[in-house]
Amino acid sequence: MNGFFNVFKEFGISSAKAIYLLKKKLNIKDKIGHMGTLDPNATGVLIVGVGRANRLFDVMLKKRKTYVATFCFGYETETLDSESQKIVKTSSNIPTKDLILKNESKMIGKFEQIAPIFSAKNINGRRAYEIAREGQNVEIKPHKIEIYDFKLLKQVDRNTFMFEIECSGGTYIRSICRDFAKMLNSVVTMTSLMRTKCGDFDIKNSKTIDDITESDLALCELALKNFEEIKLSSGDIQKIKNGLKIKTNQKSGKYKLYDNNSLVGICEVDENGLASIPTWLI
Q: Quick check: 228 and 256 in contact, CB under 8 A?
A: yes
- Grade residue 128 by pLDDT with cuts at 50, 70 and 90: low
pLDDT, position 13: 94
pLDDT value at 213 more than 90? yes
Mean of the pLDDT values across residues 34-59? 94
CB 46 within 8 A of CB 3: no
CA angle 55, 143, 270 (to 5 degrees): 50
- pLDDT at residue 241, as a whole number: 87
What pLDDT is attached to residue 138? 67
∠ CA 120-39-6 to the nearest 5 degrees? 115
pLDDT at residue 82, rounded to an integer: 87
Res. 219: pLDDT tops 90: yes
pLDDT of residue 149: 98
Contact predicate 21/59, CB 8 Å: no
Q: What is the mean pLDDT of residues 63-91?
A: 93
- How many Å apart are CA 171 and CA 110, to the nearest integer? 11
Residue 39 is among the residues annotated as catalytic for this protein: yes
User: Residues of CATH 3.30.2350.10 domain(s) within the chain?
Assistant: 3-63+200-223, 65-198
Domain 227-280, architecture per CATH: Roll (2.30)
Please say if the pLDDT value at position 140 is more than 80: no
pLDDT higher for 209 or 139? 209
CATH class of 3-63+200-223: alpha beta
* Confidence label for 123 from pLDDT (cuts 50, 70 and 90): low
CA distances from 73 to 115, 185, 211 (A): 19, 10, 37
Class of CATH domain 65-198: alpha beta
Tens of pLDDT, residues 155-200: 999 999 999 999 999 899 999 999 999 999 999 999 999 999 999 9
Query: pTM of the entire structure?
Result: 0.90
Question: 270: how many CB neighbours lie within 10 A of its CB?
Answer: 12
121 pLDDT tier (thresholds 50, 70, 90): low
Examine the pLDDT at 69 and tell me if it is beyond 80: yes
Taking residues 84-105, what's their average pLDDT? 94
pLDDT score, position 122: 65
The mean per-residue pLDDT over the stretch 108-121 comes to 81
- pLDDT tens digits for range 224-266: 999 999 888 899 999 998 988 889 988 999 999 998 888 999 9
At 45 the pLDDT is 97
Largest CA distance in the chain: 70
Given the residues 30, 39, 179, 259, select the one marked as catalytic: 39
Q: Coil, helix or strand for 224?
A: helix
Taking the C-alpha atoms of residue 91 and residue 186, their distance in angstroms, rounded to an integer, is: 6
CATH 2.30.130.10 in the chain: give the residue spans.
227-280
Does an H or E element contain 24, and which?
helix 15-26
Residue 79, beta-bridge partner list: none
Q: What is the pLDDT of residue 136?
A: 66
Distance of alpha carbon 139 from alpha carbon 128, whole angstroms: 9
